[in-house]
């Protein structure tokens, strides 16, 4: 088998990109096969099975996003409810720190998100998408910016103005590129690479509403090398539940 999509280790399995748990099972949606033609890449153990709990955490955050489609709501009512019953840490994540909030004039609820953990999984997805598209590893640092988050400002929750600008900018940047993905209700993406400039840009959309921008450039790589950390990794944000 070939080498891992993330490192020089020998691949011992394949990893689903994004994680398979994001796609509803047939027993939950009998009329639609959301697990057809899923993307896989060669992976070592360290970059696959050892991260299964983080994949489930990503699922937890994504399906509870305020702006998602009905498929995400149904996934919450089936898959997430089962996980709540079987895994105590899920109850802690979703229920223990749940607080009432006001968003767009609607009463809903929010919980704190472990941004470091979230970004780690999203970065892996970005590296996997690049490998799938170009059949080779991207070795430079990728920075992911989740745009499906809302932050507290006084008594209400809003999206940061810079993130609003990034959402609009991404629409223009990818206007001439077709979205990719066999199951667009769950996941679709657009990708741009310029090897001459060392630039990679990926736009990901989960459940029709949670958008993520993944960026890599010489400037980002230099910052990561100089600091040794992602300066945004410790930030927290509120995730609004349906």
Counting other chains too, the contacts that 223-229 makes at CB distance below 8 Å and 24 or more residues apart are 224/141, 224/143, 225/141
Contact 140, 221 (CB under 8 A): yes
Confidence at residue 49, expressed as pLDDT on a 0 to 100 scale: 63
Tens digits of residue pLDDT in 88-126: 777 776 666 677 776 667 777 777 788 888 999 999 999
- Given a cut of 70, the residues of the chain with pLDDT beneath it are 1, 49-50, 93-97, 102-104, 152-159, 220-242
- Give 167-182 pLDDT, tens digit per residue: 788 888 898 888 999 9
Spatial contact of 235 and 174, defined as CB atoms under 8 Å apart: no
Give pTM, 2 decimals.
Answer: 0.86
């Amino acid at each position: 088998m070939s080498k891992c999509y993330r490192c020089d280790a020998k691949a011992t399995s394949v990893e689903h990109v994004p994680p398979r748990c994001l796609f509803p099972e047939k027993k939950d949606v009998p009329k639609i096969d959301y697990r057809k033609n899923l993307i896989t890449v060669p992976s070592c153990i360290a970059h696959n099975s050892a991260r299964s709990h983080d994949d489930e955490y990503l699922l937890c955050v994504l399906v509870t996003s305020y702006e998602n489609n009905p498929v995400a709501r149904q996934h919450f009512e089936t898959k997430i409810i089962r996980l709540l019953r079987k895994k105590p840490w899920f109850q802690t994540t979703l229920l223990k720190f749940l607080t009432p909030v006001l968003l767009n004039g609607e009463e809903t609820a929010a919980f704190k998100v472990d941004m470091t953990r979230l970004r780690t999984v999203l970065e892996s997805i970005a590296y996997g998408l690049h490998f799938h598209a170009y059949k080779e590893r991207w070795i430079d640092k990728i920075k992911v910016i989740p745009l499906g988050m809302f932050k507290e400002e006084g008594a209400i929750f809003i999206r940061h103005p810079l993130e609003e600008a990034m959402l609009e900018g991404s629409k223009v940047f990818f206007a001439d590129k077709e979205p990719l993905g066999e199951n667009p209700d769950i996941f679709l993406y657009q990708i741009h690479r310029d090897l001459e400039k060392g630039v990679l840009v990926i736009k990901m959309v989960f459940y029709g509403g949670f958008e993520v921008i993944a960026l890599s450039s010489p400037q980002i790589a230099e910052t990561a090398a100089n600091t040794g950390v992602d300066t945004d990794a410790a930030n927290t944000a509120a995730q609004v539940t349906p």
